[in-house]
């Protein structure tokens, strides 16, 4: 019984990776539609949420402010129309979630969502909706947390490529 209890964290991680992998592959089918939703966007803002153990969420590489600054810098380098946060503008949201695993590893997921105001046909009202989304999951050791920050920037690059393709 003790041996199977030790395997639970590994089974959880495998299930998480498989489930999110399936979600990502389904999302790839609508890649063109998501990319097309970025056409004509004249400006947008960036924000972030970081969840996880305090020693990780407050680390020099993974704090909210650091992620926003790094993402903003990368987007400006690529000449994307970045603006200050506003309720009227679309928003690119970085969501980083980290979990300490018993083995001393860090399981993480990064999700990048682009929110735009969309009009509901049957109600004639506008709501914010995710029109573009990409995500990545991973598992790193404590000495490799820079890989988490690199994963965020990798998704930022993917967003920028899609944005520039249609604009």
Instruction: Collect the ranges in the chain with pLDDT lower than 70.
Output: 1-29
Predicted local confidence at residue 92, as pLDDT = 97
What is the three-state SS of 47-90?
EEEEECCHHHHCCCCCCHHHHHHHHHHHHHHCCCCECCCCCCCC
- 136, 155 Cβ separation under 8 angstroms: yes
Predicted local confidence at residue 24, as pLDDT = 41
Predicted local confidence at residue 81, as pLDDT = 96
Each residue of 77-89: pLDDT tens digit?
999 999 998 888 9
pTM: 0.80
Each residue of 136-158: pLDDT tens digit?
999 999 889 999 999 999 999 99
Predicted local confidence at residue 147, as pLDDT = 95
Predicted local confidence at residue 12, as pLDDT = 54
């Amino acid at each position: 019984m003790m041996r199977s209890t030790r395997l639970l964290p590994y089974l959880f991680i495998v299930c998480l990776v498989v489930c999110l992998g399936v979600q990502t592959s389904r999302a790839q089918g609508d890649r063109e539609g998501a990319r097309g939703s970025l056409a004509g966007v004249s400006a947008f803002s960036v924000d972030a949420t970081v969840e996880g153990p305090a020693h990780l969420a407050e680390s020099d590489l993974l704090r909210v402010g650091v992620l926003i600054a790094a993402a903003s810098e990368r987007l400006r380098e690529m000449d994307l129309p970045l603006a200050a946060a506003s309720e009227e503008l679309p928003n690119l949201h970085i969501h980083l979630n980290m979990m300490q695993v018993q083995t001393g590893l860090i399981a993480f997921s990064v999700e990048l969502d682009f929110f735009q105001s969309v009009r509901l046909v049957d109600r004639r009202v506008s709501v914010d909706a995710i029109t573009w989304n990409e995500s990545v999951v991973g598992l790193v050791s404590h000495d490799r947390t820079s890989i988490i920050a690199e994963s965020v920037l990798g998704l930022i690059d993917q967003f920028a490529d899609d944005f520039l393709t249609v604009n």
